[in-house]
A and B are shown apart, each in its own frame.
Chain A
Amino acid sequence: MDKKQNKAAAFFKSKYFGYIIFGALLSLLPLATQAGVLKTSMIGIVGGTIIYSIVAQGLNINLGFAGLTSLGTAGFMGLGAYISAFLTENMGWAWEASLIVSIVICVLLGLVVGLISLRVEGLYLGIITLCIAEIFRKTFEELDPITGGYAGKKASFPTIFFGGWKLNQAQNYVLLAIIMVIMMILTYNLVHGQIGRALHAMRGSTSAAQAMGISLFKYRLMAFALSTGYAALGGVLYVHFFRFAYPSTWTLTLSLNIVAMVVIGGSRTIFGPFLGAVIVYSLQDLVIKRIPVIGDLNGISYIISGVLIILVVMFYPKGVINFFSQIKEKAGKSKAAAPAAVPAAQTESGKEENADE
């Protein structure tokens, strides 16, 4: 069993090849819609999933690896989105330049949050970050000339290569997939290197980590800077993909949804946040709304997603990504007490189908 597990793990984590294949498969979607196999609206839904998976990946570094709570992700995502929209639309900057500026500003603010995290911990830190996100959101509402206030801010599809190539929606979607793969590879390298080990140690015990010479100051700031950087990147991609940003998007609910993506998908994994984003964000649009009769009821998709989230956390606290290893674990245990485990295994396989859809 060990060998198999290693093999499966090696396949899922197998360096960059797996990620690139995954990104290439996702990039095939526009071809499928052009051929008429899938609806064009799929591009919007899957594109949104990719964007949220990038943001969730950033939070994963913070929440999963470093063990630092943050409920301010939405605020930083919104900040990145508005800065980029303002720079490209009002100032006529190139998309790449606006991307870099947005990320740099958000990372600098993330460093400030990192400083706060040295003093404030756990729940208090979570709500302080919520406080910061609320400050941003109120500012988005009030700062009309830059953010467009309640009416929202318009943006257009990015023109890459410094104004050389104006993308359409399908090309923008492929760009998202490429960026996601790059971020996956970067994250993989990051968490398997020195920084990742330092973050792991810090999560386990700050005192032990410090005793081994890990600077809390350096790595906490780094964790927050990274996660806000990912959030800003997600925000920039969001505003240029959906071409609109409203202040009502960047609320506590969005931050909580991103936390849910990390926990449900499986924290401390590379594919986990993507799976989480699929379950939390796109499952309603992709599957539930298409079921006849039930799908037409207003609000039913919310209920099913909510129930699914509750069930996943109750029965698979390690996340959907660890599904198979957990089933095997249970199956191994159940050889001793076989009858009790049978119904459990059945519900597991039932839920697996849902999760994969």
Chain B
Amino acid sequence: MATFFQLFLRSFETGAIYGLATLGIIIVFRTNALVNFAQGVMGMFGAYVITFAYSKGVPIVAAILIGVVAAIALGFVVDFCIIRRTKKVSGAGKEIITLGLMMVILGLVPIIFGVEPLKLGKVIADGSFTVFGANISYNSVLNIFFGIGITVLLFFLIQKSKLGLAIRSTASNEKTAKLMGVPTALVTLFAWAVAVVLGSLSGAMVAPATSVSINLMDSVQVCAFIACVLGGFQTFYGPVIAAYIIAIANNMLSYYVSSVWGTQILYIIIMVFIVFKPVGMFGKRTIKKV
């Protein structure tokens, strides 16, 4: 039971990482109608900024703040210089543009930060405690609450604030929203900034467990995409819930079934699920006009 509980808590930490990355993808998808394949490398860029500042002796919390500012700047630049100018490009074309963006960032990072992998410390360096026989570090607890906290804050913002209303109306129909006087340009600007910040934060959570390199977010990004499909692209909350489910199921399957085949089994289960419910757990079927 103690092992189970420990796994469960660990999964919530992983879930927080996946959840933030997923939220970044979904917020851009809903407001811009494009799948951002550069989400992972954008997060990697933010994590690099944080780690670079940290390695120069900046305290970790300040480093994260610097990273957030850099992430917002990157989001603004991407929306302002590229996405805003691609209104006429088809959906698939826009996705290829994010692929080009991915290559640009992949090329920029070694030029700015060097090719040596960097190491990022934890926010709470050490210390742990035991609940129900499960040992958990203070840093993991921080990650869990931070992940859930940010998600809840964003949902509150989307559901209750005026900006949230603008986001939801843009997500539902950009043209109509624009006609109704919603500043859609501002909304997409905000969405991109938030997406990069979320990616960077999730990168900063992954980083202490490994070294910060160009491939930092690759596996997180794949999981986030699969979470988007499992949860359905039509809602904001579906993919985030699916991200937590994937994290829990992956850890459980890897431990109890097979450490080698656990992930593959999970993906097959997800595929079978999608075949039977093609719009995801929380998606609604849209009726196509002929």
Contacts and interface: CB of A to CB of B under 8 A. Distances in A.
A74 to B, nearest CB: 12
A206 to B, nearest CB: 9
Contact of A309 (B85, B88, B96, B221): B96
A264 B96 contact: yes
17 contacts: A116-B271, A116-B275, A124-B233, A127-B226, A134-B267, A135-B268, A138-B263, A142-B260, A207-B290, A260-B99, A260-B100, A263-B93, A299-B109, A308-B100, A310-B104, A313-B89, A317-B88
Given A134-B267, A310-B100, A121 B278 contact: yes
A160 to B, nearest CB: 35
Contact of A298 (B86, B105, B115): B115
A307 interface: yes
A297 B267 contact: no
A310 B77 CA distance: 14
A139 B265 CA distance: 11
B107 interface: yes
Given A128-B271, A301-B107, A317-B93, A306 B101 contact: yes
A263 B274 contact: no
A302 B267 contact: no
A340 to B, nearest CB: 16
Interface string B241-283: 0000000000000000000110110011011001110111000
B104 A303 contact: yes
List 7 tightest A-B contacts by C-beta distance, closest first. Answer: A302-B107, A306-B103, A309-B100, A306-B104, A303-B107, A310-B100, A299-B107
Given A135-B268, A313-B94, 5 more contacts: A124-B274, A126-B35, A251-B218, A309-B97, A317-B90
Interface string B64-107: 00000000000000000010011011101111110111111111
A131 B227 CA distance: 11
A306 B100 contact: yes
Given A256-B99, A297-B111, A314-B97, A263 B92 contact: yes
A69 B265 CA distance: 24
Interface string A107-138: 00000000010011101101110111011001
Interface residues of B, number: 52
Contacts of A306: 100-107
B264 A138 contact: yes
A128 B274 contact: yes
Interface of A: 63, 69, 116, 119-121, 123-124, 126-128, 130-132, 134-135, 138-139, 142, 205, 207-208, 251-253, 256-257, 259-260, 263-264, 297-310, 313-314, 317
A323 B280 CA distance: 40
A189 B288 CA distance: 33
Given A127-B225, A252-B222, A306-B104, A135 B267 contact: yes
A119 B278 CA distance: 6
Contacts of B225: 127, 130
Nearest to B34: A123
B103 to A, nearest CB: 3
Given A119-B278, A124-B229, A260-B96, A305 B222 contact: no
